[in-house]
């Protein structure tokens, strides 16, 4: 709902009254019903105008010599409510009872959705809206086909769009152009001449196609008939120029009723374009600024996202590096501990082996007993080690060769137990397989010189 200040501003803009107190009194007298107050005011103004000039009972017209007339732009002369089926069908509005109010911008009459407080009623489905839009587009294409059939011999024709009225309006909005509306009455006697000589003339076609989005509809079609009623077309051929505004608003800039020459039509359209150029330029500049701002925001967002992704990548890399360093440190610590444990285990095992060898030497040394004195049954044994060291001892002649191995082991000169006792002349190996033989039986009595050979 429009608030009090907006209603007051709209009333002043439409009526041209500058006295805010007077406008407030008029609106209050009509219960702040904007439409009723304006209708009452314009009716009163028309009556006053009739009393002053008895030849006119309507708003001012520009007249041609033959009585044809067009209404100049910039005059707010009536309020038009477009059919809901056109609005909801083409724009997909979820309403079947939304009226069009009005809006004045730069002195041009506008029609604004829900500005007069027409609320939404029963909601229409999207399927119904889509179906209505398709039907409107079908009627537009049918009009273009019939127009080409009847006037196709002329290669020059306005570029009517094959869309419904509201879709054509939206197209003109996106192209920052005015919308030229032509309501076609096939049965009117002035229609053929107007279409052939004016609407399809080279100058009019070129000017329309360059400066306007053109929409045409036959009054025999549903949408064309509704638009005819909305514009309250009283004479044909009928042309109008409207301009899209913000929030699905439209502004009536010009309407021409009755036959018009190409020169007159171009002059009318030229004046409308000149009067509306500042609005269109402003809209284009604002749209370009919005696109620039949007592009700048998108670029800033993209740069921010790229920087954020780079930061996140660096953070991930830092975390990965930190985790890798921690893993490597943990692995190195694990290896160090394993090596330390292995070293300690090896040292412990070596110490245990050494202790075992010491115990073994001690045990074998004790098992040898005392060295016997020289005598006929005593054998003198000399042992030469690989390092050149020599050790000698006397043994009873009946002593086993095993005792000689125990003797060598008890000395602790060798680090291994894998060796053999041998004689050189003649070479004889007294291996472990001969440990049970006595020295005498082995031929080592009364004396023997043995070498150690590591196996």
The 10s digit of each residue's pLDDT in 248-298 is: 567 788 899 999 999 999 999 999 988 888 878 888 888 889 889 999 999
- List strand residue ranges (DSSP E) for 361-446, in order: 378-384, 390-396, 419-424, 427-430
CB neighbours of residue 117 within 10 Å: 14
Per the prediction, the chain carries an average pLDDT of: 79
pLDDT at 209 exceeding the cut of 90: yes
Q: What are phi and psi of 152, to 5 degrees?
A: -70, -15
Confidence band (pLDDT; 50, 70, 90) for 115?
A: very low
Confidence band (pLDDT; 50, 70, 90) for 449?
A: very high
d(CA 89, CA 132) in angstroms, rounded, equals 5
Pair type for strands 447-454 and 378-384: parallel
Q: Which domains does the chain have, with CATH numbers?
A: 4-32 (no CATH), 133-298 (3.40.30.10), 378-454 (3.10.20.90)
What does the pLDDT average to over 194-215? 93
pLDDT at 83: 55
Q: Find residue 429's DSSP bridge partners.
A: 422
CB neighbours of residue 156 within 10 Å: 14
d(CA 359, CA 84) in angstroms, rounded, equals 116
Confidence band (pLDDT; 50, 70, 90) for 88?
A: low
62 by DSSP, 3-state: which?
A: strand
What does the pLDDT average to over 105-120? 35
346-394 residue pLDDT tens = 888 888 888 888 888 888 888 888 899 999 999 999 999 999 899 999 9
Tokens of 335: 């290896």
Confidence band (pLDDT; 50, 70, 90) for 42?
A: low
d(CA 17, CA 374) in angstroms, rounded, equals 158
pLDDT at 248: 57
pLDDT at 415 exceeding the cut of 70: yes
Sign of CA dihedral 386, 392, 395, 398: positive
CA–centroid distance for 393 within its chain: 100
Q: 58 or 369, which is more confident?
A: 369
pLDDT at 394: 93
CB neighbours of residue 239 within 10 Å: 26
d(CA 241, CA 284) in angstroms, rounded, equals 19
Confidence band (pLDDT; 50, 70, 90) for 99?
A: very low
Q: Of the given ranges (15-19, 20-24, 29-33), which has the lowest mean pLDDT?
A: 15-19
Q: Which of 152-166, 180-194, 273-287, 409-423 has the highest mean pLDDT?
A: 180-194
């Amino acid at each position: 709902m429009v608030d009090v200040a907006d209603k007051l501003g709209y009333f002043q803009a439409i009526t041209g009254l500058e006295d805010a107190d007077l406008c407030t009194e008029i609106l209050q007298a009509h219960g702040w019903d904007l439409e009723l107050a304006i209708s009452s005011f314009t009716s009163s103004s028309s009556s006053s105008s009739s009393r002053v000039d008895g030849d006119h009972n309507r708003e001012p017209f520009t007249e041609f010599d033959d009585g044809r007339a067009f209404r100049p732009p910039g005059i707010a002369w009536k309020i038009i409510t477009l059919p809901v089926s056109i609005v909801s069908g083409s724009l997909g509005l979820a309403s079947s009872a939304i009226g069009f109010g009005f809006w004045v911008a730069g002195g041009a009459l506008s029609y604004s959705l829900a500005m007069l407080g027409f609320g939404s009623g029963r909601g229409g489905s999207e399927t119904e809206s889509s179906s209505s839009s398709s039907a409107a587009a079908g009627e537009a294409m049918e009009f273009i086909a019939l127009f080409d059939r009847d006037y196709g011999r002329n290669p020059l024709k306005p570029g009517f769009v094959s869309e419904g009225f509201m879709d054509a309006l939206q197209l003109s909005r996106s192209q920052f152009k005015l919308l030229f509306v032509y309501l076609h009455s096939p049965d009117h006697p002035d229609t053929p001449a107007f279409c052939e000589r004016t609407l399809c003339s080279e100058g009019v076609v070129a000017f329309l196609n360059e400066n306007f989005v053109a929409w045409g509809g036959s009054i025999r079609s549903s949408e064309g008939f509704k638009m005819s009623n909305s514009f309250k077309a009283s004479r044909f051929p009928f042309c109008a120029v409207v301009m899209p505004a913000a929030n699905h608003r439209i502004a009536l800039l010009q309407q021409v009723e009755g036959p018009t020459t190409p020169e007159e039509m171009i002059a009318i359209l030229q004046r409308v374009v000149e009067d509306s150029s500042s609005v269109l330029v402003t809209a284009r500049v604002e749209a370009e600024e919005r696109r620039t701002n949007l592009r700048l925001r998108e670029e800033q967002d993209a740069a921010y996202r790229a920087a954020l992704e780079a930061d996140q990548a660096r953070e991930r890399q830092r975390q990965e590096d930190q985790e890798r360093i921690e893993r490597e440190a943990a692995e190195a610590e694990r290896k160090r501990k394993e090596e330390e444990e292995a070293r300690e285990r090896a040292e412990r095992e070596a110490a245990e082996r050494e202790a075992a060898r010491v115990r073994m030497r001690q045990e074998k040394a004790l098992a040898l007993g005392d060295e016997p004195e020289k005598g006929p049954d005593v054998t003198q044994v000399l042992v030469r080690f690989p390092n050149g060291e020599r050790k000698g001892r006397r043994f009873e002649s009946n002593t086993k060769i095993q005792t000689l191995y125990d003797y060598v082991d008890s000395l602790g000169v060798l680090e291994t137990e894998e060796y053999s006792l041998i004689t050189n002349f003649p070479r004889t190996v007294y291996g472990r397989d001969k440990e049970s033989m006595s020295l005498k039986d082995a031929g080592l009595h009364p004396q023997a010189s043995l070498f150690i050979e590591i196996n």
